[in-house]
Structure 1
């Protein structure tokens, strides 16, 4: 088993229907996002894609300019609670900014990363919510669509309950959901914790789909609910 099947890893559900492209997977490296900041040590990114594995249809604009987030398959896709628990934190109101696939737009955005880190949690996470477990550990859904969050602090949710929509707020170059587990709700001081998905289907290298249990999907793989 990989190092991510650590003892007492949090078991989560895939946080939405449809097909997802896996990016920044802790199955490839830890820290998965290249940093320990904001509790992201084991975080994973899931980009909504179509049946052909595309996050958006090809376009000439994508080669040279930013694009409206509405062009992307994942934007507005319903997100589901990955665990059962109490909603501890909800932050909404941040804009869903333009998406970037072109190197001409990605480079200046990357140069602004340090400034976003200095600006703190909201500049990185954008719209987000955090669900807590009785043992004090918690799971966050990040980069949510503005105005889409359906829950409030104090609400109790079951795993699989609709809670928000996928967006492009915060530190995000295209619509996707960032999922992470941590030892506390304060992202500024949180320590990232490992987690595994209870059950999902993953496309193997030969193009066939295999069902996996209590695992973390690989970098660049396609996954969908089992």
Structure 2
């Protein structure tokens, strides 16, 4: 039976992160229902000035940049709920990042080809956790190659590190993509609504911060767990 209310999770990280492709802006949040991502949210690590990286050069404008340049790369990614690991995928490379519009054009042209290659090419390195109550499955996507700390069958608790943020799969710069699904296989699962609890939010308009007990972070907001 489909869930009629959002699955409420803890944010899967510490520090500050910028919200992109939020379902608070539109549904499907990423413009498609493919791969169970109807309500998915992307989080990009930032500093206190909302910057995703502390350096810019010619690659920023016209080419690619090393993923290590970005604040998100290598930050710990945590289990957002208690559960059991049902899928782990590692071995996908962390490719060069692309902030340049010129570099993004060619990358986007290859998106259909990556989708045909399947979940690994889209999600990159990832972990899927069956929630303890059996209601749904949460996926943590685009993790750093070699950083995964869990295996299939492991029980995890909220806040336990499962890997590190990377730039694997269909990702233009280091970030973590979070989604909840009604099954463990993203190629056939349907997305499930989700919300997050106990965080501080700086809205895109620049006011705040405000404390949120349970909610869906807005597009362009910066969030930080309490």
TM bucket (normalised to shorter chain) is over 0.9
Q: What is the aligned length? A: 221
Structure 1 alignment gaps of length 5 or more: 1-5
The CA RMSD over aligned residues, in Å, is: 1.1
Cα distance, 1:37 vs structure 2: 0.2
Give secondary structure in 2 for the equivalent of 1:185. Answer: coil
Match of 1:212 in 2: 212
TM-score, normalized by length of structure 1?
A: 0.95
Cα distance, 1:206 vs structure 2: 4.3
Matches within 5 A, 1:1-150: 7-60=4-57, 61-133=59-131, 134-150=133-149
Kept after mapping to 1: 8 A contact 2:55/2:69: no
Which deviates more, 112-121 or 197-206?
197-206
TM-score, normalized by length of structure 2?
A: 0.95
The separation in 1 between residues aligned to 2:42 and 2:183, in whole angstroms, is: 20
Cα distance, 1:214 vs structure 2: 1.5
Cα distance, 1:192 vs structure 2: 0.3
Cα distance, 1:59 vs structure 2: 1.4
Give secondary structure in 2 for the equivalent of 1:171. Answer: coil
Give secondary structure in 2 for the equivalent of 1:54. Answer: coil
Cα distance, 1:20 vs structure 2: 0.3
Structure 2 alignment gaps of length 5 or more: none
The separation in 2 between residues aligned to 1:162 and 1:103, in whole angstroms, is: 34
